[in-house]
Chain A
Amino acid sequence: MKFLKNAWLFLLAALLFYGCDKVTTERTYAVRLPTFVSMSTLRLQAEQMVVLPQPLESTGKIYVYGDYLFINEPMKGIHIYNNADPKSPVPLTFLKVPGNVDMAINAGMLYVDSYVDLLTFDLADPAKPTLVHRNEDVFVSLYQRDYTNAGSDKLMVVSGYRDTVISASDERIYKPYIKEVDLVYDNVNAGGNYGQGGSMARFTLSMEHLYAVDHYKLHLFQVSDKRKPAYIKDIELGWGIETIFPYKDHLFIGSNTGMFIYDVTTPGEPEQVSRYQHMRACDPVVVNDDYAFVTLRTGVACGGAQNVLEVVDIKDLTNPRLVKSYPMKNPHGLGLADDVLYLCEGAFGFKSFRVSDVHNVANNALESFENLVSTDVIVAPKSLVVIGENGVSQYDYTDKAQLKLLSKIQLAKSK
């Protein structure tokens, strides 16, 4: 009987206990981790920048200057083509500029970013650009200060990425009666340090000044001495700046929450005239005298929830107002040739619209190239240059309603 009493006591005691799940989680991540390099190391490599033409492996920004076509390969440099005959662009050279994402050209001087520096190249011989000046540490937001163990040499930039497998584990206890998790221990074993991505500057020239935007600042340079840009100052714009488009004496700066209009009548002292707000999205901008055409798109970096082309009345620059919004699939860059708007739809192709009647753009579609993956377009004097993930295409747009393919520079991997 003594045993039974003990047994029942044990059972009653057991009822007072609560069960639980002890969980050990082992995770394996396949991630891309940044690799870091110091700017001092990169600056030492500046002597070997001009190399033979290289295969185009990826596409970034494009720039047309006279008979020359410049294609940026993000973070690697710039492919320079002789584009005197758009039917047959001839590769001249590859300018190795680590950390380069954008460019602008002013009177034979090529301005490019190289991580935190602004470089000036003399294009007297476009096949052999000569580095004539370096403005150091002008895009300092690209420094990765807090993510490296670089010791005293903390001014590092992200030089690339490598695929890495990370394993991590943790233990926890799940109790349904107590809705909290007891974290017992946490153990992470990574193949290296990892941090955050850099921002991408965007360049434009206006009124003898170079304007470059990164994600939250407008960087201002005076280029009246075209060989030696002089850094003037930075203007805070708020987070999410993406594009900059000059028109006459104004700058139209696209951010992912709206469009800023700046008056640059006094180029060294840009003044904000107004701000047109829209839903959060990526938004390249082009303008004519009366209207701004803004594309809003969804995407990882943009965080938006809509894909539309917005037409904004800017007759009164102090009070921009939405005229009409047209649904699109995934609109990226755009270009205006008189009353024809060319619009890149990313993976969904390339389209053109007659926009003389801004209230009826959707019904005035001209052409649609569904297989032409496109991200940006330049209406150049000799050709319409369209860039996308698969390469750079040039079209004859003499008849704006009927484009004719002239040439195509394909990516090496897609040939």
Chain B
Amino acid sequence: MKRIFLIVLVIMAVQQLLHAQHISYRNQQEVGLVSYGPMPLEIGFAARSFHGVAIGDAHTLGVNVGVNRFPIEGKSTIWTVPLTIKNRYVLSPRRKAAFFTDLDVGYALASLNKERKAVPVWSTYDGGVVMNPQIGLKLASPSQNFFWTITGGYLYQRLAITTYSNYDPNFNSRDPSTVDWIGDFNRERNRYAVHRLTFMLGFGF
């Protein structure tokens, strides 16, 4: 599934390149905070690297690769690796200070998390769809070859954590005397829909 997604992503990017009138490479690095809100509480961080092409003056299309680390429910911390297609639209692109909107859509991998695979407790992590619309301000250098950005946005991320405890649905290896009536909990899968705000600082060329 992930492989298919990456192939589609590359095809779309190439297609855009072929139809563009005016093509030039764009690169941007960003770091910032992932937060539940403006209050500094249970804050995570994010870092991203964008590689794409400018299509005309106003549009930029490319691939964004990054890493997010943020707390979940105040009790565990999750790493994700978002792989997204980013489309940026810059309003008044010829101005040195220009506002823009970004839309990142893709999939976030959860493979950076350390899975525990040992009896009696197992835990596994699954990534999911990620979406990150943002608005920001772009401050370009006098030559317009280098720019700074400041953005704020909304992060939507799906992921899941599954914990197994003495899991044996067939009871084959279980000692019945250890099984409690109400408490011998075996499998818990928490599916998260994460809604956060992002505040990023970046630079690019």
Which A residues are closer than 8 A to B by beta carbons?
3-4, 7-8, 10-11, 14-34, 161, 163, 165, 174-177, 194, 196-197
Contacts and interface: CB of A to CB of B under 8 A. Distances in A.
Contacts of B72: 21, 174
Contact of A14 (B152, B167, B193): B152
Residues of A contacting B: mostly: strand
A18 B197 CA distance: 8
B154 interface: yes
Contacts of B153: 14
B176 A27 contact: no
Contacts of A7: 91, 99, 101, 135
B60 to A, nearest CB: 17
Contacts of A21: 72-73, 192-195
Interface of B: 35-39, 41-42, 72-74, 91, 99, 101, 135, 152-155, 166-169, 171, 174, 176, 179-197
A96 to B, nearest CB: 21
B168 A30 contact: yes
Contacts of A177: 36-37, 39, 41
B185 A27 contact: yes
A175 B185 CA distance: 26
Contact of A15 (B152, B176, B179, B186): B152
A54 B42 CA distance: 63
A10 B135 contact: yes
Nearest to B164: A28
Given A14-B154, A17-B197, A32-B181, A23 B73 contact: yes
B181 A24 contact: no
A163 B36 CA distance: 43
A3 to B, nearest CB: 6
28 contacts: A7-B99, A7-B101, A8-B99, A8-B135, A10-B135, A15-B197, A21-B192, A21-B194, A22-B192, A23-B193, A25-B191, A27-B188, A30-B167, A30-B168, A30-B169, A30-B179, A30-B186, A31-B182, A32-B181, A163-B176, A174-B72, A174-B74, A176-B36, A176-B41, A176-B42, A177-B39, A177-B41, A197-B181
Given A14-B152, A17-B37, A19-B37, A30 B195 contact: no
B158 to A, nearest CB: 10
Contacts of B189: 25-27
B152 A194 contact: no
A7 B187 CA distance: 45
Contacts of A175: 36
Contacts of B169: 28, 30, 165
A18 B35 CA distance: 9
A19 B187 CA distance: 28
A19 B197 contact: yes
Contacts of A29: 184-186
Contacts of B42: 176
A26 B190 CA distance: 6
Contact of B195 (A15, A20, A33, A194): A20
